[in-house]
Structure 1
Amino acid sequence: MRRIIKATLAAIGCLAGLIGPAVEAAEKTVFRAPGSQQALLSIHGATDLTAMEPLIQDFQTIWPNVTIEYSEYLTNELFSRVSGDCHSNEGTMDLVLSSSVDQLVKLVNDGCAMSYRSPMTVRLPSWTRWRDEVFGFTFEPAVIVFNRDLVPPEDVPRTRVELIDLLRSKPEKYNGKIGSYDIGRSGVGYLFSSYDARGITIFGRLLEAFGRANLVANCCTTDLLTELSSGRLAIGYNLIGSYAVGARRRGAHLGIVIPRDYTVVLSRAAFIPRSSTNKVSAFHFLDYLLSERGQKKSRDESFFFSFDGAIPADVDGPIWLASSGLLRPITIGPELLAVQDRAKRERFLSEWRRSTQLETNAP
């Protein structure tokens, strides 16, 4: 039987002023090489272990002599850790994965990544790669999730206007029952909200509706899904679709809606740090993620959506999202640098706090 070891890493150092005085501990899981170990690959990711484990184990059937250490972070903590390693020109990371692609673009722009080109990387859609240094490997829509025991069919919102109208018409029923990200703690939550702010004229109304409904803000998709599954929350907004599908398939009584006004889609991305000590295995793992085999494993067991835009059968949405006209992909490239602008970020967080009547841990 394959040996998997979990441990908590004491986090060390961070770039002063970016996130806070310290980086929270990462959970490290060691996947021992099924064969005789010849290489150690260190992957650091803001991606749930439940999603990464099938991919790691399948990769090891191809490369059985590679032991893999997977360290899991929140998006902001990973960004701080990688920034610190990059600016000190130190670190032991061989591959970095995150859903907060704006943070990865910032790191790449700062010179933290090395270039790589292969037949797998060049065939990616143009919106999912930049400078042969950062590469998207998933197709993940932001969705509305609801508890099927608490939200009757007539209340299920399929657009943002419908969600606003629901909260206005039934305030007692949904007060304290709406959840989304604490965008000061969640990099992907901040990214989704910034795209909402650019994409719709009713963004202010949406935030005010959340404020009146006493929005419950949390750091992570998995925590929000847990609260939805338990009935603590009734509706979750802008959650990562793949995690919601995974929770539903594990038995959670949840419904999942692709918004009908527009759907933001991100491609979870990866890059190889400049300081990587095992670049060869990192190249192999990246190519595996982008290969037909890796993409099939990802679609079947990890992230459930695919670049062709097919929607899983248990999701309420168009059969083919890519051709629906709803798609608004987050392009991995220099335009995301604006999302990381410190002054703009502070203004946006301040407006979010004021409108939702919530405090957030702004970096």
Structure 2
Amino acid sequence: MMHPTLRVALLALSLLLPTLAKAVEGDRQVFPAKTEKVRLVIHGATDIEAMQPLLEDFQQVRPDVTLEYVDYLTNTLFREAAEACASGTPTADLLLSSSVDQLVRLANDGCAVAHPTTERVPDWANWREEVYGFSFEPAVMVYDERRVPPEDVPRSHNDLAELLRQKHETYRGRVGTYDVRASGIGYLLAFNDSRVAPTTYGRLLESFGRAETVTRCCNNEVLNELRRGNISIAYNVLGSYAYAAHLRDPHLRLVLPRDYTLILSRGALIPSTSRQKAAAGAFLDYLLSERGQRKARDASFYFSAGGPLPLGVDGPASLVDTGIGRPIRIGPALLAAQDQAQHKRFTEEWSAVMDGEGP
């Protein structure tokens, strides 16, 4: 007869097996199929916490597909994808990235295959059926209500610039945003700020420089500074990450700027070197489907083009109907952001202001 202690230990191990099967090796996580027929490798510049509900729900539809998800920073994903394309080396079967300009660059360089889909996709979120946008994410400001009084809460880009000018000492070193030299999505959002409202962007950038703004590589690092109390306001954070942080700590409040709000749609691309193009296409169809979009809204990215704002978000009744939302169109215009000379000039000018060397 089995010893009771051993029986308990084996029971505990059996309960842990599903978790252990998803063991993480670095930034790699595997979601085993019930009966594997296909193994789909996804490289994504999207945190696994956001993607996991979608990955697991897809497996309810396709229980024969094992999913291997590798989490990247945007610039690293782009660099490795470009190298794989140039060498013809199969690495990922599907790429997901918030830096859609980098995906457009890959597609323009012949590194993508077209995937016609029957799902409804907005014109601004589809380029040549090679790069699709599958989320609707505003770039928001986040503040800690314990450290920012109601009269200081900025509700536009100009408000934030003026706050940093008028209360320079109060907020010196207390604002955080991306380092555009290290972050692909940070660069994309800043570049679009400069295009949508160049004068406002210039004033805001100058205010950031004077206020000794804290810069970090990515959404979660900026939000971590906010959670730890090291900063009071975070700028241009993607709404999905910001709202997830709000759910963990309700003192962190979201504001959608009233002058304009940039809207990002995370991009998906099937690389030309993909070994599982059919399975990659099936997962892409799922992301764009009504089921996938509903799961994304409810469990991963929280915002949708046609729906109301999530509970507790400070913003207009509708980003679409009011015209405040400014979608970043997935298309050839994004190639300007990826032009090497343009990228170098923009980041150098940004660095000069942020490092206190003047405009």
TM over 0.5: yes
Between structures 1 and 2, the one with greater helix share: 2
Separation (CA, whole Å) in 2 of partners of 1:325 and 1:44: 34
Matches of 1:44 and 1:172, distance apart in 2: 43
Question: Structure 1, residues 141-196: CA drift from partner, whole Å, max 9, x if none?
Answer: 10011111111111100011111111111112111011000001111110111111
Counterpart residue identity of residue 191, structure 1: L
Q: Does 1:30 align with 2:30?
A: yes
Q: For 2:260 and 2:100, locate their aligned partners in 1 and report how far apart those are by CA, in whole Å.
A: 20
Q: Distance in 1 between matches of 2:31 and 2:84?
A: 24
Residue type at the aligned position of 1:278: Q
- On the 8 A contact 1:39/1:66 being kept in 2, the answer is yes
Partner of 1:56: 55
Kept in 2: contact 1:146–1:254 (CA 8 A): yes
Partner of 1:157: 154
Q: Is the 8 A contact 2:189 2:236 kept in 1?
A: yes
Match of 1:39 in 2: 38
> Could you tell me whether the CA contact under 8 Å between 1:100 and 1:268 is conserved in 2?
yes
Matching residue within 106, 122, 139 for 1:142: 139
1:207–1:356 CA contact under 8 A, matched in 2: yes
- Deviating runs (4+, > 4 A) in structure 1? none
Aligned equivalent of 1:24: none
The Cα of 1:208 is off from its aligned counterpart by 1.1
Alpha-carbon shift at residue 307 of structure 1 (Å): 2.3
User: Distance in 1 between the 2:202 and 2:58 partners?
Assistant: 45
Partner SS, residue 139 of structure 2: strand
Partners in 1 of 2:147 and 2:81 — Cα distance? 41
SS at the partner of 1:166?
Answer: helix
- Cα distance in 2 for partners of 1:133, 1:202 equals 34
In the superposition, the TM-score normalised over structure 2's length comes to: 0.92
1:23: which partner in 2?
A: none
Aligned residues: 338
CA apart distance, 1:92: 2.3
Shift of 1:252: 5.1
**Partner Cα distance (1:345, 1:36) in 2:** 46
2:57 counterpart SS class? helix
* Residue number in structure 1 paired with 2:85: 86
Uncovered stretches (5+) of structure 1, i.e. residues with no partner: 9-26
Aligned residue in 2 for 1:124: 121
How far 1:309 sits from its partner (Å)?
5.1
**TM-score, normalising length: structure 1:** 0.91
1:193-235: CA deviations, max 9, x gaps?
Answer: 1111112112221111101110100000011111111111100
The answer to whether 1:198 aligns with 2:195 is yes
Following the alignment from structure 1 to structure 2, what is the Cα–Cα distance between the partners of residues 85 and 207? 36
Gaps of 5+ in 2: 1-14
AA matched with 1:68: L
Preserved contact between residue 309 and residue 323 of structure 1 (Cα < 8 Å): no
SS of the aligned residue for 1:97 comes to: strand
Deviation of residue 91 (structure 1)?
2.2
Which residue of structure 1 lines up, in the alignment, with residue 7 of structure 2?
A: none
Q: What whole-Å deviation, never above 9, does each CA across 1:237-272 have from its counterpart, x for those lacking one?
A: 111011100111123520100001101101101010
Tell me what 2:22 maps to.
4
Q: Deviations over 1:91-119 (max 9, x none)?
A: 22110000001000000000000011121
> Letter of the aligned partner of 1:300 in structure 2?
D
Report matched runs for 1:170-319 at 5 Å.
170-200=167-197, 201-251=199-249, 253-308=251-306, 310-319=308-317
Larger radius of gyration: 2
Q: Is the 8 A contact 1:46 1:99 kept in 2?
A: yes
